[in-house]
Amino acid sequence: MAELPTLPYAYDALEPVISEQIMKLHHQKHHQAYVDKLNAALEQAPNLADKSVEWLVKHLDEVPESIRPAVRNQGGGHLNHSFFWQCMTPGGSVLEDGALKSDLEAKYGSLDEFYEQFTTNATALFGSGWCWLMPDLSTVTTSNQDNPLTETGTMPILGLDVWEHAYYLDYLNKRDEYISKWWQVVDWAAAATRYKG
Ligand code: MN3
């Protein structure tokens, strides 16, 4: 059984970047719905009951076709949001000197250039989806609730939800403004811990 994880901070802790209203809806309604619908789908495949959501998303081809779309969308939604909450922390955390910082600077020329490329990709994504920083430090986007884990076999080290439900109440149609503010709450220390170099 998939379960809604507890948010690692208060609902209002990411204000003013992300409002309490959005965080409550996003966690209690949207994320809860992914969990509930994933569990409903898995009732039809008892042999998968003990599998983690990471395993399911990574091995979609081993999931029965009858529930594969549900596991892809609802399982992906559960995995992505569980990860997203871990990518943020109140007030953000600094990207300290270390492998992640120096490798980002080497790959992009500067951190500012990295921010710009990530923001450009996230802004340009058509429709609903996510923008990710991968372990090879490339930035990629996925549609809907797909996670790069399915295609590449590896989890990202950072991810941004660019579905309208993630920002519309605070930023209306200004996705670029949401993305530029989002860096203020990114938990870079956690991303650095995930990065193996
Ligand atoms: Mn979302």
CA–centroid distance, residue 151 to ligand 1 (Å): 20
pLDDT one-digit tens code per residue, 123-135 = 999 999 999 999 9
Helix locations, the chain, DSSP H: 20-24, 32-42, 53-58, 68-70, 76-86, 99-108, 111-124, 148-152, 168-171, 175-182, 188-194
- CA 27 / ligand 1 centre spacing (Å): 8
Residue 45's SS3 state is: coil
**Cα 180 from Cα 133, distance rounded (Å):** 16
Ligand 1 centre distance from Cα of residue 165 (Å): 6
Distance between Cα 82 and ligand 1 center (Å): 10
> Taking ligand 1, which is a single-atom ion, which protein residues have CB atoms under 5 Å away?
161, 163, 166
Mean pLDDT of the region 61-73: 97
Ligand 1 mean position to 120 CA, how many Å?
19
Is pLDDT above 90 for 197? no
SS (H, E, C) 153-182: CCCCCEEEECCHHHCHHHHCCCHHHHHHHH
The CA distance from 35 to 82, in Å, is 10
Taken as a whole, the chain contains a residue count of: 197
The 10s digit of each residue's pLDDT in 22-61 is: 999 999 999 999 999 999 999 999 999 899 999 999 999 9
pLDDT in tens, 154-185: 999 999 999 999 999 999 999 999 999 999 99
Q: How far is the CA of 98 from the centre of ligand 1 (A)?
A: 30
Within 13 Å and on the Cβ side, how many CA atoms surround 73?
A: 11
